[in-house]
Chain A
Amino acid sequence: MVEQFPRPMAEIRTARRKLPAIDSAAFAPPPAGDHPLKIVEFRAWRVKEPASNRRYTVVRLRAQGGIAGYGEGGPAVASEIAAARTVTMNRRATESEFIRAALRRTPALEAAVNNAMLDVVSRAKDMPIYRYLGGPVRFKARLLGHLEGATPADSAPSLERAKRQGMAAFTTAAPLRDSMIPLQSYIDVVAKHYADMQALAGPAGEWVLDGAGAMTPGDAASVANALEHAHPIWFDEPTGVATPDALAKIVEESVMPIGLGRNITDIVEFQRLLASGSVNIVRPDLGLNSLAKIRRIAALAETHYVGIAPFHNGGPIGTMAGLHLNASLIQAYAQQVPVPASDRDAAMRAEITSGLKEKGEDGFFALINRPGLGFEVNEKALDAASEERI
């Protein structure tokens, strides 16, 4: 009898004894002593944007030598921040693997702390983060405008701002399906929405269709099939049902590229998606995964010839960190950038980065050749925008 794969492989996995689980938290690097990169100060801001209510956490670390670095993660509560401070204080800013293990249960803070450490070390070494990470592999990074608004009319202000900010690729959220709408009608609604957004942006605009994990696998497969000739760059998070069978239903129904990963914080989950061939572009959230962690995910994806475009719906410090990451990863396609509809939100974001705007030219952001993140964080702006300072 001819053996059929993958069934025998599954048998292999279950039949064979596994080595003990790898837990890097079992090891703690030695105390940093008087090292200039020893973290001696930890401060955090819980930031909220005034109009959109978009929330994120900014951490500032100061090393013994006096250098400060900033990192951003997703929303976090005060008790998590306090616990992260305990873990981080007196470690060396180079100990990203220790932090990745120690803060793995609070991914927003793993991202914020590890990215702040990276900023500290890069500033200490007088080089941009992308150079510390082995780049640049490109001299400019593609921007993907994450528009606000559910309808074309609602999205128009955000789209206009994105175009003014030099973006040429955008995400648009697929309409949600009401249970009373027949499937064909729903598909028609999504197709019309997509066509309307294309018309709004003009012929130069390229689009990612964002399913936001809201469709059933069956609906997502039908939408992918119907829209594949419209050639979205990819269909993002088509369903929230990330089982191999559910995803297989989508990827086997059409040639539409599938983006997945914004809610995933476990590298093993990315490995599973990649190994099963269920994903064409991985989308770890910058608010939930540090640059150090995403580089590991990228290493996985590279062997599958799968691209990476980190999801981002946080603040401007996160955007800039993502652009450094993009400049250091060979298969990075684009960095998603939230584009506020509100002028107040946009102004606040620019103030935090001391005037450096999340903007590009002809769709790309020109890399900054300055140490660390490449700009000074305006702490007064953070104070003004924060719900709480910790």
Chain B
Amino acid sequence: MRRRELLTTLAAGAGALAAAPGGRRANPTPLADCGCSLQIRSAKDKPPGEAAFRDVTSKLRITNMRVFGVTLDERIAQADRPYVFVKIETNEGVTGWGEATLEGKASAAMACVMDLKDLIIGCDPMQVEHLYQVMYIGSFYRGGPVLGSAISGIDQALWDIRGKVMNMPVYELLGGPVDPRGVRGYYHADVWTLEAARELRDKTKAAGVTALKFQLPDLLECVETNAKIKRAVGHMEMLREGLGPDIDFAVDFHARPTPSVASIILREIEPLHLMFAEEICPPENVRAMARAVRHSTTPIATGERLIASYGYAELIDMGVVDVLQPDIAHVGGVTALWKVSATAEASGIRMAPHACEGPIGGIASLHVDAAGPNFLAQEICGFVQADQKNRVWEDLLGFPAMRMVDGRYPLPTRPGLGVDISETALKKYPFQGTRPFVMAFHEDGAVASL
């Protein structure tokens, strides 16, 4: 049985689901029901289905959706994150691109995108909020990074179409730009000596870049020795001395410490005035994180692993964080990133969206950044000096994507997201399967948080 036929038959089995999204009539033949499917007493109360929107939607319809896996040579990009690109096509020839890259789970994300295909084919792509809800609530099992990434890719592509149809950049659709000069960004960096830090300072200033991000020097266990604490603090003190007072820098703890260890380090590094300390401990337990931050004034950032605006509510309500870092390729696309930003604004929390995948997600993030009064800085996996990966991105997009000018990413000016991926160029980087996320182990062989 073909996939579409199977889904149509299953929909009919649900009885009350008179029409699948997209207005397609389901086969009325009833199938077995274990009691889990929608049970409604009277025909009058049955949900109307997508056909009910027929008179209030645009004439535009989604006709096809394709997903592309893109593997770069592991010498120029991390092997655990082949890009997952989504392309949506419409009956009027307008197409949209989005990114659903999920580190270590590329095949799962690609499969999930295709799982959602039947929910959106035939629908009006302008109904982006409705389709977000169809995919998020309609999936029953809410959230999770696989579903979140799949929705993200599709949602970005829908916003791309919306912008193209309306001949406006997405940030204008969102009420921006708040700052027409562009979007402040930061690059990654790693230096281990004072001399190298001073050299980096000069290169950074020459490039007009104003902020950088580093990592801790060690893996950390549940309690730590004086030596490791001192090494972590000493590393950051060296960075401040080498970079000087004019360059902002953040440190990504990468959820390596426990709250207990994090609280000690945070207390020690207060005088360094970091831009923020990121993922100071694992993200699942907000109250544990709260205990870690209460004795420090260093701004706390987290959020790259959370999905949908619901994932951030407790962090915001409990006043635990100063900066939120949703990733537009996981959180649920433009729709969800904007909602998180709006929610955070009310609590005086700033946004520094995570972006460590491909170029479409990075550019999509810029649009939401540009419409948020509470925006702080945009991440991208890249260094002050452009490398081979940047050349691949230029090959794919036709311009040097996600490179700052005078410390800011210029705002896209073309309608939609402002990206058009060359499918010819994509063929140069065929998908070569999922690679697992890089793992780390403590010296006793126990799995470490990396």
Which residues from chain A sit less than 8 Å from chain B, CB to CB? 3, 5-6, 8-9, 11-13, 15-19, 21-24, 27, 29-30, 92, 94-98, 100-101, 125, 127-128, 130-137, 139, 267-268, 270-271, 274-275, 292, 295-296, 299-300, 302-304, 327-330, 367-369
Q: Please, how many angstroms separate the alpha-carbon atoms of A22 and B179 in the complex?
A: 13
B residues neighboring A (CB under 8 Å)? 48, 52-53, 55-58, 126-130, 132-133, 137, 162, 165-168, 172-173, 175-180, 287, 290-291, 293-297, 299, 309-310, 312-313, 316-320, 322, 335, 338-339, 342-343, 345-348, 350, 371, 373-374
The answer on a CB contact under 8 Å between B350 and A296 is no
Q: A139-B52, A268-B346, A300-B342 are in contact. List 19 more A-B contacts (CB 8 A).
A: A3-B291, A16-B296, A22-B348, A22-B350, A27-B178, A94-B172, A94-B175, A133-B129, A134-B162, A134-B335, A271-B316, A275-B316, A300-B346, A302-B309, A303-B310, A303-B312, A303-B339, A304-B313, A369-B57
Residues of A within 8 A of B371 (CB): 97
Q: Pick from B133, B175, B290 the residue with the most CB of A within 10 Å.
A: B175
* Cβ-neighbour of A303 out of B165, B167, B343 (below 8 A): B343
A169 to B310, CA, bound (A): 30
Choice from A30, A296, A300 contacting B180 with Cβ under 8 Å: A30
Chain B nearest CB: distance from A197 CB in Å? 26
Question: Which B residues lie within 8 Å of A127 (CB)?
Answer: 58, 126, 166
**Residues in chain B near residue A292, CB distance under 8 A:** 175
Q: How far is the CA of A136 from the CA of B162 in the complex (A)?
A: 14
How far is it, in angstroms, between the C-alpha of A5 and the C-alpha of B374 when the chains are bound? 28
Nearest CB in chain B to that of A125: its residue? B166
Offer 25 A-B interface pairs, CB within 8 angstroms, sorted by A: A12-B318, A18-B348, A19-B322, A24-B178, A27-B373, A29-B176, A92-B172, A94-B172, A96-B175, A125-B166, A125-B168, A127-B58, A133-B129, A134-B162, A135-B130, A136-B127, A136-B130, A267-B345, A267-B346, A274-B317, A275-B316, A299-B343, A304-B313, A327-B56, A330-B137
CB within 8 A of A22: which of B56, B127, B128, B345?
Answer: B345
Contact A16/B297 with A139-B48, A296-B346 known, Cβ cut-off 8 Å: yes
Residues of A within 8 A of B178 (CB): 24, 27, 29, 97-98
Q: Give the CA-CA distance A190 to B20 in the complex, in Å.
A: 47
Rounded to whole Å, the gap between the CB of A33 and the closest CB of chain B is 12
Which residue of chain B lies nearest to A131 when distances are taken between CB atoms in the complex? B126
Q: How far is the CB of A114 from chain B (nearest CB, A)?
A: 9
Closest to A100 in B: B175
What is the bound-complex CA distance between A29 and B132, given in angstroms?
30
Chain B CB within 10 A, most for which of A8, A128, A136, A268:
A136
* A327→B56 CA distance, assembly (Å): 10
Q: Would A330 and B175 be within 8 Å (CB), given that A12-B319, A19-B350, A127-B126 are in contact?
A: no
For the complex, give the distance between the alpha carbons of A296 and B373 in Å.
12
Q: Which residue of B lies closest to A25 (CB)?
A: B373
Q: Do A12 and B320 touch across chains, with their CB atoms under 8 A apart?
A: yes
